[in-house]
Amino acid sequence: MKKNKRINLTLVFSLVIIVISFIYYNFNIKSSSYSPYSEKPFLVEQFQVAEDCQSCHPQHYLEWSSSMHAYAFKDPVFFAMNTIEQNYHKDKGEDLGQFCIECHSPVAYTTNLIKNPDELTFKNSQKLPDQVTEGVGCSFCHAMVHTSDTPNINTKKSLFNVVEYHIDPSNKMYGSISDPLPNNFHESVYNQDFSTSEACLPCHNLLVDGKNAEITFSEWESSKYKSNGFPCQECHMETYEGFAVDPKLFPQAKKRYNLHRHFFAGIDEARTAFPHKDLQRNEIKRLLEQTANLNINDLSLITEQNKIKFEVEVFNRAGHNIPSGATFARELWLDIKVLSANDTIYQTGFVNKNNELYDFSIDPNKEIDPDLVIFRSVFYDEKGDSGIYKTSAQRMTKKSDYTISTFESFRKNYTINAPNSSDSNFKIIAKLKFRARSPGFIDHLGLKGQVPYSDTFIVDEKIVEFDSGSQLSMISEE
């Protein structure tokens, strides 16, 4: 009997603890949450300027200052797109509000500092506080007390500002170090969420009326990377050995073996004057080079038909689709050239005088480059219009997805006419190329001559040479 009473008391006590924890947790989340519908926004003064972090965290500050997080509210592409989309929705009698601002300057969003987002320009943004213009800064990210959900725009109700943050902007800094060094500058609090992919929400996932729009997180979530415990930070915030603080200022600081880089490596690049662009470019190259493999398979020369046959394969090694994110504006494509001696007998993936590919916006009937392969998404709006000049994420009603899923391959077979195949040497040059945005898109934004076009990166390349002897022989493969 006594034993049963002890069991019952234990169950009751456990239940009380669970209830108290649940109430405390939900109160804490609610009190630290912000959405446009919150009763009281935060104050700018509750956030520190990133430069204030430099003296104690020089390495982290250096890396962040070269990142697209720091460039997010300085990017002329951002301001041009905001203006175009604000005008589009205004003409429809809709208020786009802070849709573009909520991730490009979360401090501005959570303080409701920009009262008229439709009037925002790069010029007048310079009058805003540093905490706003520094984009995604240190004190905002390190104020996170809990991860956010994926935002889901409701176009029928014109609800575009749906991002909700759970932050505690105070003298506490939250992070992934479980035994932080006590100091007189701020309280340091361990938060395991910083080591999870969910920390990248809400800005790296977006639904529109429940439909997938920009879903990098969802792509990762359905991949082998999640099941193998491999979060986004493994690639985009590489670990290294070092000190979290300047050891000259803090001699008692210990060396750590699981620090994270703060380059926030991605595939966008600052196109105007910006600090440490060389560091940013190196990170882009590093990331792209480990993204995908390109191979030339099943090569055969059929001399009696004067034809060359081969397969090109692209294998996605990334933890999400390639490309990912704003895929409607990305260009990842195959550039393939076949040479007979020194003459080009076949080519696809070439560009015009304006450095543009012959995609459906330039060559809708596929007359110039019919074999062009571009990996990206195509959005369609309510009128059925498509393409990067006519629609964007929040206007989307449906999309066609031509990206490559993680750990999947794209394969395409080629049959090339090869005149005089019986007495020639041949070379196949296959390249997987990438650029963040097309020149036509920059022109469409009204930035021609103001912003340099996106650079083209070679993700992978294969070169195969062979002759036309009685037996096919591989001369080289790089």
Q: What confidence score (pLDDT) does residue 342 get? A: 84
Torsion sign over Cα 273, 277, 281, 287: negative
Q: What confidence score (pLDDT) does residue 384 get? A: 85
Res 24 pLDDT > 70:
no
Mean pLDDT of the chain: 90
3-class SS letters over 129-182:
CHHHHCCCCHHHHCCEEECCCCCEEEHHHCECCCCCEEECCCCEEEECCCCCCC
Between CA 462 and CA 428 the distance in angstroms is 8
pLDDT band at 21 (very low <50, low <70, confident <90, very high): very low
CB atoms within 10 A of CB 73: 24
Q: What confidence score (pLDDT) does residue 261 get? A: 97
Between CA 176 and CA 196 the distance in angstroms is 10
Between CA 360 and CA 314 the distance in angstroms is 22
Q: What confidence score (pLDDT) does residue 422 get? A: 64
Q: What is the pLDDT of residues 402-435, one digit of tens each?
A: 999 999 999 999 999 987 766 678 999 999 999 9
pLDDT band at 445 (very low <50, low <70, confident <90, very high): very high
Classified as helix, coil or strand, 218 is: helix
Query: Stretch 1-14: mean pLDDT, rounded?
Result: 53
Q: What is the pLDDT of residues 26-71, one digit of tens each?
A: 444 444 666 554 568 999 999 999 999 999 999 999 999 999 999 9
Between CA 394 and CA 161 the distance in angstroms is 11
Q: What is the pLDDT of residues 115-162, one digit of tens each?
A: 999 999 999 999 999 999 999 999 999 999 999 999 999 999 999 999
Helix (H) or strand (E) holding 337: strand 331-340
Q: What is the pLDDT of residues 351-361, one digit of tens each?
A: 999 999 999 98
Res 323 pLDDT > 80:
yes
Residues ≥6 apart with Cβ < 8 Å to 167: 32, 34, 42, 110, 140, 143, 144, 145
Q: What confidence score (pLDDT) does residue 146 get? A: 95
Res 18 pLDDT > 60:
no
Q: What is the pLDDT of residues 243-276, one digit of tens each?
A: 999 999 999 999 999 999 999 999 999 999 999 9
Quote the percentage of the chain above a pLDDT of 90.
82
Res 10 pLDDT > 60:
no
Between CA 449 and CA 245 the distance in angstroms is 42
Q: What is the pLDDT of residues 99-125, one digit of tens each?
A: 999 999 999 999 999 999 999 999 999
CB atoms within 10 A of CB 286: 14
Q: What confidence score (pLDDT) does residue 93 get? A: 95
Strand partners, 477: 464
Provide the CA 8 distance to its chain's centre, in angstroms: 52
Torsion sign over Cα 198, 379, 74, 93: negative
Q: What is the pLDDT of residues 184-224, one digit of tens each?
A: 999 999 999 999 999 999 999 999 999 999 999 999 999 99
Q: What confidence score (pLDDT) does residue 388 get? A: 77
Between CA 83 and CA 81 the distance in angstroms is 5
Q: What confidence score (pLDDT) does residue 470 get? A: 43
The answer to whether 47 touches 140, Cβ cutoff 8 Å, is yes
pLDDT band at 5 (very low <50, low <70, confident <90, very high): low
Classified as helix, coil or strand, 67 is: coil
Strand partners, 453: none
Q: What is the pLDDT of residues 382-403, one digit of tens each?
A: 888 887 777 889 999 999 999 9
**7-11, 263-267, 432-436, 463-467, range with the lowest pLDDT:** 7-11
Residue (of 415, 302, 400) closest to 348 by Cα position = 415
